[in-house]
Structure 1
């Protein structure tokens, strides 16, 4: 009798553990009630399109992960969300292969430029330690690329998943990396305009000026993998 009771307790604990474990690329009831929506369902690229183009090509969905094409014959280019956002909180998980380089964009507008990084600001994703050349501060993971270097950023090894949060509310922007706020800035202020004038965007008038737009994922160099991409409007 005692052994039977013990077995029942063990089965109950196993069932509870399985029932409370959150699956990848899904939303909990609490997240749905809080307004979160999935941008990637783990199976398709239905919520995405090619920047300045049509259907997504080159990118692959493998074991519930969204892989960019990297460098090769099937290079697909950057992709953007079909929906546009103004104020939002974006969450995603990512990892890169050695010497890879990618990014996450927001407030992207099509038709203004041929390259996505001249439209919306970029949250940088990169193999911080594996590249053969030394990086500038604003090139490290978590940076507002070309503008603001991350502070106290701790990137995980290339074979482990990192977590990213981008919060945009009016002009206020925050970059979070693995639970730490690493960048904070105010768009369109005198200080931001001064920083822009002193950066590689000095001759790019449309950079960062839109107040709403698409979320973008970069297909730049090497392989980057994404999962659990979700967003809620603020």
Structure 2
């Protein structure tokens, strides 16, 4: 009986070896900051290749602040003062994918339709929030949690991950129709300038009827195209696998 068991185990050794080979080679697939051949053929563009920050500059500046660095294959803001950044290129309709990781207690954001006519990057650009939902004070407002269309549409809690973990975001924008997914969960589904949007807008801090210390946000979300932006909210934040597909 013991001999039979030993033989059965020995018979499994080739299969076990093959399994170990598969597991050990798994890292060869899905390499960070790389496009697959299929993505290249579809027309995807990397906005960060893991080695240098070529596609970005500071808001209203030609260059990039030294506090935005490459760190172990990520594009990272290492501290306050780096300034908000935006892509060199402007986009009209697009499918944007990226991953972000926020520090404990941190806050940041992803902007779309960025122009440089307002005083701040957020003067005209809608923001998809990045936040430590467990520690930052903005967690008290549902539409200020990560994955939300900031101050307008709240993300579902099932899309949230703790600080220190990577989050996947997809932003799909076509002719005013904005959809957002965070960690596979749809968090935003709105059309800019329709009646639902207008109601959300009027109740937000971006409405001229409310206004803030930053102004009345005249021209907010009115652009038909714009840059992609990333926010310096004085907290360390990292990004990787940033890629975009321009749509017709």
C-alpha distance 193-227 of structure 1, shift in aligned 2 (>3 A): same
**1:152, CA displacement in angstroms?**
4.5
Question: How many residue pairs align between the two structures?
Answer: 227
Contact 1:142 1:153 in 2 (8 A): no
C-alpha distance 40-194 of structure 1, shift in aligned 2 (>3 A): same
TM-score (normalised: structure 2): 0.84
Q: Can you give the 5+ residue segments of structure 2 that lack an aligned partner in the other structure?
A: 1-9, 209-216
Match 1:182 to one of 179, 187, 202: 187
The answer to whether 1:213 aligns with 2:226 is yes
**1:153, CA displacement in angstroms?**
3.7
Q: Distance in 2 between matches of 1:84 and 1:200?
A: 26
Instruction: Quote the residue 2:7 is aligned against.
Output: none
Instruction: Quote the residue 2:98 is aligned against.
Output: 92
Q: Can you give the 5+ residue segments of structure 1 that lack an aligned partner in the other structure?
A: none
Contact 2:124 2:218 in 1 (8 A): no
Contact 1:52 1:114 in 2 (8 A): no
SS at match of 2:75: strand
SS at match of 1:194: helix
The answer to whether 1:55 aligns with 2:63 is yes
**1:180, CA displacement in angstroms?**
0.8
Instruction: Quote the residue 1:66 is aligned against.
Output: 75
C-alpha distance 179-18 of structure 1, shift in aligned 2 (>3 A): closer
When the two chains are superposed, the root-mean-square deviation of aligned CA atoms in Å is 2.3
The answer to whether 1:41 aligns with 2:49 is yes
Contact 2:138 2:144 in 1 (8 A): no
Q: How does 1:1-234 map to 2 (within 5 A)?
A: 6=14, 10=18, 13=21, 17=25, 20-57=28-65, 58-71=67-80, 75-110=81-116, 112-132=117-137, 134-203=139-208, 204-234=217-247
**1:27, CA displacement in angstroms?**
0.4
Q: Distance in 1 between matches of 2:114 and 2:126?
A: 8
The structure with the largest alpha-carbon Rg is 2
When structure 1 is superposed on structure 2, of 207-216 and 181-190 the one drifting more is 181-190
Q: Distance in 1 between matches of 2:102 and 2:236?
A: 6
Contact 2:180 2:186 in 1 (8 A): yes
Q: Distance in 2 between matches of 1:200 and 1:182?
A: 20
Contact 2:138 2:145 in 1 (8 A): no
SS at match of 2:220: coil
**1:155, CA displacement in angstroms?**
1.5
